[in-house]
Amino acid sequence: MAEQKIVGAAVPRAEGSEKVSGKTVYAADVKLRGLLWAKILRSPHPHARIRAVDIARAEKVPGVRAVVTGAEVKGFLIGKQIRDMPVLCWDKVRFVGDRVAAVAAETAEAAEEATHAIEVDYEILPAVFDPLAAMAPGAPALHDDVAGYDGAPKNILAPDLRNGLTRLAWKKGDVEAGFRGADLVLEHTFTIPARHQGYLEPHAATLSIAPDGKIQIWASVKNPFGVRSQLAKCLSIAEERIRMNPVNVGGEFGGKGDGVDLPVLYFLAQKSGRPVKLVMSYAEELSASNPAHPTVITIKTGVSRDGRILARKMRAAHACGGYGALKSNSSLATWHYAGGQYRIAHTAIEFLQIYTNTVPGGYYRSPGAVATAFAVDCHTDILARELGMDPAEFRLKNFLGEGEADAVGHELHHVRFREVLQSALDAAGWRKPKKRNRGRGIALSGRHISGGDTGAVLSVEPDGSFAILSPSIDQGSGTHTILRQLVADQMQVPIEQVRTTIGDTDSAPRDSGMRASRMTYVAGKAIVQACVQLKEKLLEQAARRLECRVEEIDFAGGNFILRDDPGQQLSLRRLAAQANEKLAVTVYEDYPYPEDISYICAQVAEVEVDPDTGAVRVHRMVSAHDVGTIINPVTHQGQIDGATIMGLGQGVMEELVMDGGRVTNNNLGDYKLPSIKDIPELKTVLVKSAGGVGPLDSKPIGEFANNGPPAAIANAIADAVGVRLFELPVKAENIYRALKQK
């Protein structure tokens, strides 16, 4: 057989043909006998006490089979870590969209009609929407005893703050002494709104309860095992009673990691004796799901006249929303981005989660990164220009080096900041002359990646093909294609001889979900480990058939060959067909978090500003990445391009507009996402180096290019027309107003 190049080849996506042909099954497609449709009654008030709920009229709507209120499920709370969110509210509601009651009916229309027939008597309470206002003395308190909630992270709670949930804080050196020794100290405040993840498939789930009590679930979630744990803890039952069945996920970008609607379906199914399905409308998605947090960041930095950063103080206040339930650490992993890529001897950094009467915040691709990168890189540009330095030179002067500790004390290795930024500058023509009203801006994004548990079952089928049983949900990133390529490479067979099946929570090894750019690292390592173990098992089988020792056999081209007598061969297909046992191995590992490794994306935006209207046109985005072995160049580039466009959207158009806690642009007509006409020229530069933690020296790529574009665009606008914006998105009317004031 001619040698094949599998790793590095543009192998088509494993699930692609079924998606484009319409065969793919999503959560909303699940059909069960006797299925009922669910609808949730949501609060119209941001903060109110529930005096009474009358369901008499709702129960009379034709087709209604069950109505459940908060009073019936009092005491049941759910959350990823802190369980502070009621399944249905029984005493108070804390945001517009909070769950008050639920209906199951024969049709979605009947369920909708019944929710409108439920009468709720509310006592309106004072509300607070801004995280800074929520911390003020006298602000209305949303929760009486945060520490009393099950799962409350006692080590990072912030009970000293009014409406405080959690505090992440780091100190290094003596920040006040650093400021006293500085020649220039500047302080700025940046504001970032709530943003939706923008996946096309809304949250959807179907739940049934078997006569033996087994709970069967089909849900659009990226982490079936984690969601199973959430539901089990909420209901105080064993996880083994719950089976999460795999369905495809139509995009998620961090937003589909919770199971907050599943207890509602459980109680409806229990009361009706029928399976129940819930599919959120997009109005519900935009107003009551789990968007990125509105954030206010204040950053203060002291520098020397020769351009060295000496000290930094930063405080980020995230508007947590009514509950902290939708974050697995009750916080955001902002330590990845807190100090940027810069050498700073003295730091005091604090990130707060503050309860507000707004939609609860969740995870968005690189949680917290866009807000932090926007503040850090815009502030960095201001510092450079105040010192009369080129923004690129200022960054290059202050970059961390190999083995140095970042602003929160993490010692970094395999540092490639300088090389990657220089590559982006060269590709963007940083020093080339610009036309009038055109500007260029820089932004950087670096992060560590996650580890955690995962596994795989790898087997040889009787026809000699390989089957992967994976516990991971491929939410669109191409993970299962990567796994197929790794097996084909390791076992030396054509890619067509490898297939992947997603296992359910009863049959597959546990996996902690698609998160934090970890999947090629952890799932890739698991499948390579499985290949090694399976190859050992196959060699033992072949040695018995060829009547020799394992050490005397070579495996190549799908054949086991006796090294000293190549005429003596045994094909993999024949070995598999004649085996009297299942030729399979199961791998399950808890892979360490590689916290000492930092990867980097450097981006340069080129924009044009119309001085008469403030309108911005982004002409080009250059993204340079530190990369290792690229297993699939198509999926790799897809991650870069898709992430860049997401960042562009957050920079110039995306915003959940709130009025009195209510999301006012609660449809995709009013919530603007980038379309094909908004996409500028995208240029990618790959800076290859060793030091990858993934299989075959690969490096992560998923959550890098989405973080920097808002800052790069804002910096480019300042370069083009000399006005600085401190809030996202960078709207034309704000630029116009700033130009007039200038």
For this structure, is 59 an active site residue? no
As a whole number of angstroms, the distance between CA 679 and CA 644 comes to 9
Alpha-carbon span 659 to 257, nearest angstrom: 27
| Secondary element (H or E) of residue 661 | none
Please state the length of the chain: 742
User: ω before 729 within 30° of 0 (cis)?
Assistant: yes
Which of 15, 113, 606, 703 does the annotation list as catalytic?
703
Calpha distance 227→245 (Å, rounded): 12
Q: What is the dihedral of CA 25, 28, 33, 39, to 10 degrees?
A: 170
Residue 703 contacts residue 582 (beta carbons within 8 Å)? no
The token duo for 544 is 């018995």
Tokens of 522: 């952890």
- Pairwise CA distance, residues 178 & 319, whole Å: 30
Tokens of 448: 């560590």
Integer Cα distance of 309 and 398 in angstroms: 7
- Cβ neighbours around 740 below 10 Å, total: 9
Distance from C-alpha of 280 to C-alpha of 201, rounded to nearest angstrom = 9
- C-alpha 385/C-alpha 380 separation (Å) is 9
Q: Which two tokens stand for residue 223?
A: 């982490």
- What dihedral angle (degrees, nearest 10) is formed by the CA atoms of 611, 612, 616, 619? -70
DSSP 8-state assignment for residue 138: T
CA 235 to chain centre: 26
The answer to whether the beta carbons of residues 184 and 305 sit under 8 Å apart is yes
Active-site residues: which are they?
703
